[in-house]
Amino acid sequence: MIPIDALNGFMNSWKNNNWTTMFDYAQITWKSKHNLELLKMWFGSKDLISFEVLTIKKVSDVCFDITVKVKYLLRVSTLKETKVTARVICETDPYEPSIHGRWGVNPEGILRNLNLEERRLK
């Protein structure tokens, strides 16, 4: 798997409300501190309609920042469109980045961007 595969899996799982698979695509370190219910709580009120990858920036051999345009419904009634940056990290274990690891998305960056956009539009 490459970074874009992890991101596409994460985003498609969100779009399909498949929280278990979305959790599987999350970063290993993030999963070691959080659970599936938290992920569902964070993203469950945001129904992803579509996403488009805009840019892919290599931060290091084990870290990429991927900018994505997302369109989603907030609480089923308000259509939102914004850009988010997803950090995708390759790890073998929590806090163990490695090129021989597994790529995973850190959900916090995406959520932070969404929450900033929602506050800005109020």
Give me the CATH number covering residue 96.
3.10.450.50
In a structure prediction context, what are the per-residue pLDDT tens digits for the chain, which is 122 residues long?
A: 799 999 999 999 999 999 999 999 999 999 999 999 999 999 998 999 999 999 999 999 999 999 999 999 987 778 989 999 999 999 999 999 999 999 999 999 899 888 776 666 55
Please give the span between the terminal C-alpha atoms of the chain, in angstroms, as a whole number.
Answer: 39
Q: What is the pLDDT of residue 115?
A: 78
90: tokens are 């390759």
Buried b (16+ CB within 10 A) or exposed e, 1-27: eebeebbbbbbebbbeeebeebbbbbb
Q: What is the pLDDT of residue 69?
A: 97
Owning domain of residue 28 = 3-120
The Cβ-side half-sphere exposure at 47, using a 13 Å CA radius, reads 8
Contact between residue 60 and residue 89 where contact means Cβ atoms under 8 Å apart: no
In the structure, how many helices (H) and strands (E) does the chain have? 5, 5
Considering only the C-alpha atoms of the chain, give the largest distance between any 2 of them, rounded to a whole number of Å: 44
- What pTM did the predictor assign? 0.93
Domain count, the chain: 1
What span, in angstroms and rounded, lies between the C-alpha atoms of 99 and 91? 7
